[in-house]
Every structure is written in structure tokens, then in C-alpha cells.
Amino acid sequence: MASDRVVLVLGGAGTVGSGIVKSLLDKGFQVAVISRDATRLEKLESIISAPSKAQLHTLVGDVGTEEGAEAAKASLLKSVGKITDVVSSLGFSWWQGGPPHMQTLSELNRVLDTLVLSTFTSWKAFFPLVKDNPNGSYTFITGGAGERLLMPGTGFLTLGAAGALAFCQVVREEYPNIPCKLNEVKINMGVATPDRLGPGYVSHLEVGEAVASLVEKRCITHTVLCANSAADLKTLILEGRI
């Protein structure tokens, strides 16, 4: 039963993450979300239907440092008892600060911190909770920006996103035989809330449904699932695989 499983959605208060949280709750999972920003957690709670609110556990914390991630883990385990699955959807979806020679080292550090380093610190804290559980999973959400320059001025986004892709590859290959399901969902499209959809974008709820299906079905592991279209997401929703 899904309700026996507690899914931690890292980045769950963001655009992509909130769609994942809503879809997991709709499937009956218990869902935990950590954010540095209490206001964002309140906004997340406001879009969750009343029957699901009892299954949502929110916590103000910072998983971007080793100390903060460990503190958040201790608080979370105290309040919810266990974590069976993790979905890591950290970072921002857009950066367009201009050409590299116009940037500062501190700005590059900020981008890498948001897209790569927080993915590492949170993984280091929470991966041990699920890695030996054959009924558990750890799912990374990434994007296609790491493989190409989306448009002029977005270079640092490419650097950060490429680091995230490389980190996911490292984890898959360094831990080939772990019992938990370890996957990456790479969304090669823009993701937005239904009220902000534009050409080439998909709804965060469609992405959420697809990721929730993958987590629920647990039928594949050590796989990169590349969603290049809404049709790919529908296949993932139906089958738990692409």
C-alpha cells in the first residue's frame, strides 16, 4: 500500500517539485518536504486538497550544507519515523545572467551551489536511509540544459546542469548493485504551472504524475528516463517507464 511509504521530495516547494508532491499525495503516499523558506511551504500547502493535507509533512530546514541536511534528517525522522523513497528536484529552472566574462566567481559559486552542491549534500544525508531497501527508491530530476546552451547568456545554467547530470551518472555507476531503485528523470522541456504554460512547455502536474508513477511502480533501476514530449510523460504515467 502506498500509504506505508514516505517519500521525501527535495525541492518540493518549487515549480517541478510541487507537481510531484501533489501527484504523490493523490496516490496516497505520505510526503515530506524541506525548504529554507516557510512562505514557500505555506504556498505549497495552499494548493494541496484538504483530504491530502494530513499526509503532507513540511519542515523548515537547509539541505544545502552537510550540517543543515543532517539536522533536517534528524528532525524529519523524529516527526515521520522513516523515509522509504527520495525524489531530488533541487535547483532553479532558469538562469540568464549574460556571457561568462561578465560574471563573477561568486555568481558561478551560487549557481553550482544551487544545482550541484545541494544535490550532493542532501544525497549524502538521505541516500543511506533508502539505499539498502529493495522496496525503496532514489530518483533524480534533471534537465536538458546540461547538454546544450539553451540561448545566449545562459552559460552558467549549462555549467550547473551539466554538473548535476554528471553527479547522477557517478552515483549510478559507483553503486551498481544497491537494492533500492535508483533512477534519473531528465525533462528535456520547459516545465510550468498550468496558468503559465507556453509553447514547448509541459504542466508540472504532468511531470508530477509521471514521476509518481515511476516511484509507485518500482519496475526499473539504474536508468535515465528522457522525457522529450508530453507523449513520453503519458507513457511513463501508464507504465512507470519510458
> Checking phi first, is residue 182 left (phi over 0); if not, alpha (psi -120 to 50) or beta?
beta
**Which residues are registered as beta bridge partners of 139?**
87, 183
Q: Tally Cβ neighbours within 10 Å of residue 169.
A: 12
- What is the tens place of the pLDDT at every residue in 186-224? 999 999 999 998 888 999 999 999 999 999 999 999 999
pLDDT digits (tens, 9 = 90+) for 90-144: 988 789 999 999 999 999 999 999 999 999 999 999 999 999 999 999 999 999 9
Average pLDDT of the residues of the chain:
95
Predicted TM-score of the model (pTM)? 0.96
Q: How does residue 229 score in pLDDT terms, banded at 50, 70 and 90?
A: very high
Q: What pLDDT was estimated at residue 1?
A: 46
pLDDT tens-digit map of 161-192: 999 999 999 999 999 999 999 999 999 999 99
